[in-house]
Structure 1
Amino acid sequence: MTDLVYVFDGYCGWCWGFHPAVRELAADDGLAVTALPGSLFTGSRRAPLSAFGFIRQANQQVTALTGVEFGAEFEATLDEGSLVPDSDDAARLWTALRAVAGPGRDVELVTALQAAFFVEGRSLSDPGTATTVAASLGLDPGATAAALADPEVAAAARTAQQQARALGVDRYPTLLVRTGPGRTSVGPATSSAADLRAELAALRG
């Protein structure tokens, strides 16, 4: 079994561009992908979308290089500009979903969480987003709401973010494969699943 760690951020446009390749790869036999949430918009980096003038141009690059689209509702949220991306809240939302879904669905949960923002324009700080995403995944919305409010889930989210930092990850997305005693980063965010498979095969020798 090949062990991969996918470090993402709920508000990272390049992660949204990368998600089709990671989802396809995660379905391969002999691969196990564990996700960890990142810390792109935390502390002093929290600000309204209107403060990040680069986002629209960056997203145009994402679409040009990966083919992944951004939804009309997201574009409306970006135009309005008042939503404040908070990666800590996004990490907690993802951890709540995972607490209800159980292991083995990490990448699916990442995709659903990011679609809520990048397609539907929803805030990942809104508890209603958690229940909406849960319902779309066939999870119990009530159990998800309870998990979101659970201090232990909040602590687990912080621990997961700390684990990502301990791996030395300072950019998103990052896909890591275990190679001997350490881990090696695989592929840029523009990689296809075929590209990633070829790179993994080369690392295996």
Structure 2
Amino acid sequence: MTSDTTKLKYVYDPMCSWCWGYRPAWIALKQLIAEHDNDIEIEYCLGGLAADSDVPMPDEMQGFLSQTWHKIAAQLGTEFNHDFWQVCRPRRSTYPACRACIVARDHGLEQQMILAIQTAYYLEAKNPSDIDTLVEAADSIGIESAAFSKAIMSDEVNQRLMAELTAVHQLPIRGFPSLVLEYKGRNYPIALDYREAQVTFNEIKASMA
């Protein structure tokens, strides 16, 4: 990579509910970039909301996240299957899902894995903190189950996740999702508009002026 490379870094967690809410605007923004500025390279960066844990999520946290889902649905019209909170045993643990995205990245299928995890979590009331759910997601996008299971449990993939989280924490972000424009060797935070991709695109272009 040279200092002349222009990148838009999309910092996300596959189990971040606001990332799910932002998905339509993000797709629209990528389309605008493809149509009007092919020189901008898009890079997906994992944020890592919550470390590995087998501890059940406290009731207060469950209540807070459940309310967040309702808030996003009300503000953005995002679909959620609220049965998740009754049929699953939630844990505050997103690192397994993040590792799944790294494995999928190696197959050129990171974006497909994100959607598979989000679909399982938000629409099918399945728990992506569980390896079984992630194996099923991998299979649904064409990654062989045994190879995926071996990779997601490997030290190598975990080390890559830790390195990525360290790099992401150096970026000018406040939460997930976040956008950072790397332009002429500097990182610029880009405000997200959850409804109008054009607003975000205009800010990106202004940062490059």
Instruction: Check the 8 A contact 1:4/1:175 in 2, yes or no.
Output: yes
1:37 equivalenced with 2:46 (yes/no): yes
Residue 13 of structure 1 is matched in structure 2 by 17
In the TM superposition, what whole-angstrom CA distance separates every residue of 1:158-192 from its partner, at most 9, and x where no partner exists? 11111211224341111111133321222336243
Distance (whole Å) between structure 1 residues aligned to residue 112 and residue 203 of structure 2: 22
Once the two structures are TM-superposed, the CA of residue 51 in structure 1 deviates from its matched residue by 3.0
Tell me the number of residue pairs that the alignment of Structure 1 and Structure 2 aligns: 198
Distance (whole Å) between structure 2 residues aligned to residue 111 and residue 93 of structure 1: 12
The partner residue of 1:141 within 135, 138, 145 is 145
The partner residue of 1:202 within 186, 199, 206 is 206
Residue 4 of structure 1 is matched in structure 2 by 8
Identity of aligned residues (%): 24
Structure 1 unaligned residues grouped into runs of 5+: none
Distance (whole Å) between structure 2 residues aligned to residue 49 and residue 91 of structure 1: 22
Instruction: Check the 8 A contact 2:52/2:96 in 1, yes or no.
Output: no
Once the two structures are TM-superposed, the CA of residue 70 in structure 1 deviates from its matched residue by 0.9
Residue 74 of structure 2 is matched in structure 1 by 64
**Equivalent residue letter for 1:54:** F
What TM-score, normalized by structure 2, do the two folds share? 0.81
Residue 84 of structure 2 is matched in structure 1 by 77
The partner residue of 2:127 within 113, 123, 126 is 123
The partner residue of 2:169 within 159, 165, 168 is 165
In the TM superposition, what whole-angstrom CA distance separates every residue of 1:22-50 from its partner, at most 9, and x where no partner exists? 23333442142211222322379x75163
Which structure has the bigger radius of gyration? Answer: 2
Distance (whole Å) between structure 2 residues aligned to residue 124 and residue 197 of structure 1: 31
Residue 86 of structure 1 is matched in structure 2 by 93
**Equivalent residue letter for 1:77:** F
What TM-score, normalized by structure 1, do the two folds share? 0.82
Distance (whole Å) between structure 2 residues aligned to residue 196 and residue 167 of structure 1: 18
SS in 2 for 1:4: strand
1:151 equivalenced with 2:161 (yes/no): no
Superposition misfits of 4+ residues, deviation over 6 angstroms = none
Instruction: Check the 8 A contact 1:91/1:157 in 2, yes or no.
Output: yes
Distance (whole Å) between structure 1 residues aligned to residue 78 and residue 205 of structure 2: 26
**Equivalent residue letter for 2:146:** G
